[in-house]
């Protein structure tokens, strides 16, 4: 399973990238706002730092303008995945840009039918939003499982990128179901290493080690 960082915070991405855990990055207009940075500049910096796909989102709502924006974003670096919303304009943009050989991430997916359309439009990634479904008392994980089944039924190569991940459990569940990628905020990714028994065990080992009076270096 691939891990993408859902952030436009260059320092937070760099910190995780140093661990070798970062297979890509996803951004969106809200994350660009949060970063306080210019979209073209910060995206270029992220692309230079991370080897894998870096999603940069279009903001036009009509297909022609979306295609133009997508082409401009794709010029930033070869590892750009143009992110388009799951609307008919977004699907048309997905088809045009994927036919041009560009990676496309179709975002804001909330149903299996939407995921089917994205796959048929040639999407590289489909981004079902788990947390936002959970927020309205629907089952985000069930959507990931349904898309997995449907894509496998027909052999679609579009990668399932589980998004809107809010907890470590979302990551583990996505892995169990067979999502190809998860994208999560840096704070959620950092929590994946945490376990109270690890902390307790380490504390006991350190206490005993101190009693030995030894040093390794």
- Our finding on whether 120 is near ligand E4P (CB under 6 A) is no
Which segment (109-117, 123-131, 172-180, 199-207) binds ligand E4P by CB under 6 A? 123-131
The distance of closest approach from Cβ of residue 79 to ligand E4P in the complex, given in angstroms and rounded to an integer, is 16
Q: Is 125 in the site for ligand E4P (CB under 6 A)?
A: no
Taking CB under 6 A as the criterion, the residue among 93, 158, 164, 174 binding ligand E4P is 164
In the complex, the smallest distance separating the C-beta of residue 28 from ligand E4P, rounded to whole angstroms, is 4
**Do 91 and 117 touch, CB atoms closer than 8 A?**
yes
Q: How far is 183 from 3, CA to CA, in rounded Å?
A: 6
Report in angstroms how near the CB of residue 6 gets to ligand E4P at its nearest. Answer: 5
Contacts of ligand E4P in 172-201 (CB under 6 A): 183
User: 83: closest CA among 122, 57, 121, 118?
Assistant: 57
Using alpha carbons, select from 84, 62, 98, 86 the residue that is nearest to residue 147: 86
Tell whether residue 114 is a contact of ligand E4P (CB under 6 A): no
Binding mask 63-102 for ligand E4P (x = CB under 6 A): ----------------------------------------
Choose between 138 and 206: whose C-beta lies nearer to ligand E4P. Answer: 138
Using only C-alpha atoms, what is the Rg of the chain? 19
| Size, binding site for ligand E4P by CB under 6 A | 11
Q: How far is the CB of 96 from ligand E4P (least distance, A)?
A: 21
Report whether 133 contacts 168 (CB < 8 A). no
Catalytic (active site) residue 83: yes
Q: With residue 106 as reference, give the H or E element that holds it.
A: strand 103-109
* Catalytic option among 2, 34, 72, 83: 83
Q: Facing residues of 183 across strands? A: 4
Tell me whether residue 130 is exposed, middle or buried, using C-beta atoms within 10 angstroms of its C-beta: 0 to 12, 13 to 18, 19 or more. buried
Q: Give bridge partners of residue 128 from the DSSP assignment.
A: 109
Residue by residue, DSSP assigns 162-187 as EBS--SHHHHHHHHHHT-SEEEE-HH
Contact residue for ligand E4P among 2, 132, 148, 191 (CB under 6 A): 132
C-beta closer to ligand E4P: residue 28 or 158: 28
Quickly count: other Cβ atoms within 10 Å of residue 44's Cβ: 16
Residues near ligand E4P (CB under 6 A) = 6, 26, 28, 107, 127, 129, 131-132, 163-164, 183
**Catalytic (active-site) positions:** 83
């Amino acid at each position: 399973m691939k891990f993408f960082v859902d952030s436009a915070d260059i320092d937070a991405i760099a910190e995780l990238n140093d661990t070798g855990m970062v297979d890509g990055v996803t951004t969106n207009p809200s994350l660009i706002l949060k970063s306080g940075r210019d979209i073209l500049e910060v995206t270029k910096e992220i692309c230079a730092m991370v080897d894998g796909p870096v999603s940069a989102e279009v903001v036009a709502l009509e297909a022609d303008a979306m295609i133009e924006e997508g082409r401009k974003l794709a010029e930033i670096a070869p590892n750009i995945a143009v992110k388009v919303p799951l609307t008919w304009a977004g699907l048309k943009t997905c088809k045009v840009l994927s036919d041009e050989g560009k990676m496309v991430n179709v975002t804001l997916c909330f149903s299996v039918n939407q995921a089917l359309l994205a796959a048929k439009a040639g999407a590289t990634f489909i981004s079902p939003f788990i947390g936002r479904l959970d927020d309205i008392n629907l089952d985000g994980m069930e959507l990931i499982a349904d898309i997995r089944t449907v894509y496998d039924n027909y052999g679609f190569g579009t990668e399932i990128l589980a998004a809107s991940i809010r907890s470590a459990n979302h990551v583990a569940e996505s892995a169990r179901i067979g999502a190809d990628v998860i994208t999560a905020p840096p704070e959620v990714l950092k929590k994946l290493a945490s376990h109270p028994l690890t902390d307790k065990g380490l504390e006991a080992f350190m206490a005993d080690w101190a009693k030995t009076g030894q040093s390794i270096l």
